Amino acid sequence: VSTAGATVVALRFEGRTLRALDQTVLPWREQELELHSASDVAGAIRCLQIRGAPLIGVAAGYAIALELARDPGGQTLDRACRLLKDARPTAVNLAYAVDRVRAAVLSSESARPAEAALTEARAIHAEEEAASDLIAANGADLLADHHRVLTHCNTGALAAPGRGTALAVIDEMWRRGGLERAIATETRPLLQGARLTVYELRKRGIPHELAVDSAAAGLIAGGWLDAVIVGCDRVAANGDVANKVGTYGLALAAQAARVPFIVAGPTSTIDESCPSGAEITIEERDQDEVRRTQEATLTLADTPCRNPAFDVTPAGLITALVTERGVAQPVDADSLAALMAR
Ligand code: MRU
């Protein structure tokens, strides 16, 4: 892993290529993927080489531009949009970005649809980057008196353009001198915490420790933490939040210990058309992700497994939702509607 303080760039569009850090080989190798088509990008999203709610949206936007540059024909736009939207079901940012780029192409008068798609994809990318800085500032203001935080999964620059979401808040707390240490949970089965959050915290020079997922509740109850802060994949209109599996358990533990449980994300992750968490589709992934890691087999090869990639945390367990437009607190239908109206 290279120098502390170095920035992580998860995604960049150059010429006719989308270049992305392959997140399945981090932190051991910093290897770049070169993606040339919608099917390349959809494949990278499906296997989590590109992951994190805002980042998969941005990647999908660029993918539509790539595909239209290869074939500007009549069916291409709809085919690419369908392929990309189907890559992963839970994070609303994917559908959000695909729908925005599709609408921009359809409404453009240009004879070059790929250019219209690229302009919109770049706009989404820039907006998410700007949102990241505002989320960082709003979250650090909110947690000014909190010094030891726990986070789950990876919500940094590998998951969202700019500095990320929850990890951007942690970064900002550290830059302001308020953070003592961050604890990252491993985040089984794919170890986004152990591999990716640790990689980013080390790069940024932020003091950190890694804990297994099952240690988190005890650490929270034992007074080792002042706050829990996580990202989100879809926020329903009533404030229920879908995020990486294990989030719900952390929220329950935080509530029992009266520790603030904070969710951070851009407003592009708020799905006003989804009434509550009950309507959110939870992605079920391959059972082999539970049975084995890249290096080792963990159980008998034919053990039946459950592998929901996300869970839903009810709004009532969430102390505050930090977005680029401000903070919703308490988190409910009224506070979200007010936030979206800003
Ligand atoms: O399955 P992943 O790794 O894409 O899941 C990511 C998460 O759950 C993140 O917490 C969420 O996307 C917010 S990222 C800024």
Measure 232 CA to ligand 1 centroid, in angstroms. Answer: 7
How many Å apart are CA 251 and CA 103, to the nearest integer?
Answer: 37
Query: pLDDT tens across 248-305, in order?
Result: 999 999 999 999 999 999 999 999 999 999 999 999 999 999 999 988 999 999 999 9
Residue to probe by mutation, ligand 1, list 153, 165, 269, most atoms within 8 Å of CB: 153
> Which residues, including other chains, have CB under 8 Å from residue 195's CB and lie 6 or more apart?
26, 27, 154
233 annotated active-site: yes
- 179: alpha, beta or left, given left = phi > 0 and alpha = psi -120 to 50? beta
pTM reported for the whole predicted model: 0.96
- 120: alpha, beta or left, given left = phi > 0 and alpha = psi -120 to 50? alpha
Flag whether pLDDT at 3 surpasses 80: no
Quick one: pLDDT at residue 4?
Answer: 46
Residues 302-325, mean pLDDT to the nearest whole number: 97
Ligand 1: atom nearest CA of 192 is: 3
Any ligand 1 atom below 6 A from CB of 160: yes
Any ligand 1 atom below 6 A from CB of 125: no
Amino acid at the residue 328 = A
Measure 172 CA to ligand 1 centroid, in angstroms. Answer: 20
Flag whether pLDDT at 1 surpasses 50: no
Any ligand 1 atom below 6 A from CB of 193: no
